[in-house]
Amino acid sequence: MSRILFVVPPFAAHVNPTVSIGAELAMAGHECAWVTYAELRPLLAPDARVFTVPHSALVAAEADLRRAAAAPWLAGMQALFERILVPIARDMMPVVDAAVADFRPDVVVADHQAIAGALVARKRRTRWVTSAPSAALLRDRVAQYPAVAAWIAGLYAELERGAGLVPIARPDLSADLVLIYTSRYLAGEAVAYPASYRFVGPTLSHRPETVPFPWERLTAGKTLLVSFGTLFAERARSLYARLLEALQGTNVTVVVGTQPDLLPDPPENFVVRAWLPLIELLPRADAILCHAGVVVNEALSFGVPAVVAPMAHEQAIYAELVVGAGAGVRVRSNRVSAPALRDAIFTVLDGAGFRAAAQRVAASFREAGGAPVAARAIAEVARR
């Protein structure tokens, strides 16, 4: 059997897929370990072997994370790479190197936003796989800006040289296997993707949820789940105000995952919690309002249609795919009025066609195979 080392950045949506895949690998007799930040340790199993990156690096990046989330696309890309991803790579590099030396993995599964995993694997001549939860690898938005593409390549090249490596094109992409957590159906069957891309769909199994929730509040009317993630919560503050104006007093139960101070004194039909048991909630939801991040795939897995309000970076890609599949409608997060937001929400809640389209996407996800297929693909790389 093989040893698999997952290298994941300090973002919960990027850690969660590896939890499911790691459990499948363990059930098949493989041994797994993780490199991530200390704050993300609770997402992993209590007995998981974890090499932790000091929390100070994540704390230092939080302000830049929020600035990048709020910036226009080009400025946001600059902040994302220069102030977040590159510093995270430098912080993670020594921990990943020590983990590879200690754990001696047969395969390193490196998130595409945790490039330290890929660089250390190359340095130590270990096979590696790319894990790509975001939509960034589905459409190359950077290619239309040659100067930006060259600048990013330069940042990567500097990291590679610092690791004692000769720079290569796209050092964040494995030539052996790139795990994409959506289906070919949703990503576009007519689009030519690299042979290394493997569309496995969302990986939702083996994710225990112990978050308490007032389930009795979901007894009447329809349920709208609202999630803008932690990174974009502050930017969503004004959108929450418009959501409040749009839906307070209606027969829709609005379940919002955010810090309570962003939605103080919610009306009776709003349930606001800092953390939500998503896997348990999604089957009970009639629609989701989200930023078209990773959570939109999780919702579609249960046939839940979406109102998507992309806020930055690659989220517009998933938003386009959801609308193109007929599984939702798109609104502009920074400009949509309360009446327009209400109309969009009720259009999705009351439109049977949106749920039917979402269920077709869900069927494509089931066909993709999820965590078991991803685990087998990684094990195959280990056997080569």
Record the tokens describing residue 207, joined without a space. 């994710």
Using CB atoms within 10 A of its CB, is residue 190 exposed (0-12), middle (13-18) or buried (19+)? exposed
Judged against a pLDDT cut of 70, whether residue 72 lies above it is answered with no
**How do residues 207-234 score in pLDDT, each as one tens digit?**
877 789 999 999 778 999 999 876 676 6
What's the CATH code of the domain at 315?
Answer: 3.40.50.2000
Instruction: Give the pTM.
Output: 0.91
What interhelical angle do 55-70 and 86-103 show, nearest 10?
A: 140
Task: Report residue 63's pLDDT band, with 50, 70 and 90 as the boundaries.
Answer: low
**How do residues 278-299 score in pLDDT, each as one tens digit?**
999 999 999 999 999 889 999 9
- What integer best gives the mean pLDDT of the chain? 91
In this structure, of 261-265, 311-315, 373-377, the range with the lowest mean pLDDT score is 311-315
In this structure, of 10-14, 77-81, 197-201, the range with the lowest mean pLDDT score is 77-81
Same domain, 160 and 115: yes
Q: If we measure between CA atoms, which residue out of 121, 105, 103 comes closest to residue 4? A: 105
Same domain, 247 and 148: no
Within a 13 Å sphere around the CA of 180, how many CA atoms are in the beta-carbon half?
22
Domain membership of residue 174 as a residue range: 3-201+369-383
Whole-number Å distance between alpha carbons of 36 and 7: 6
What interhelical angle do 352-368 and 370-383 show, nearest 10?
A: 30
Judged against a pLDDT cut of 60, whether residue 56 lies above it is answered with no
Same domain, 144 and 275: no
Number of structural domains the chain divides into: 2
pLDDT score of 64: 60
**Cα end-to-end distance, the chain, whole Å:** 13
Q: If we measure between CA atoms, which residue out of 170, 178, 115 comes closest to residue 378? A: 178
pLDDT score of 84: 81
Phi, psi of 152 (to 5 degrees): -65, -40
Given a contact cutoff of 8 angstroms between Cβ atoms, the answer to whether 309 and 333 are in contact is: yes
Same domain, 192 and 321: no
Same domain, 376 and 361: no
pLDDT score of 71: 62
Specify the higher pLDDT residue, 333 or 97: 97
pLDDT score of 117: 98
Whole-number Å distance between alpha carbons of 270 and 5: 41
**How do residues 367-376 score in pLDDT, each as one tens digit?**
999 999 999 9
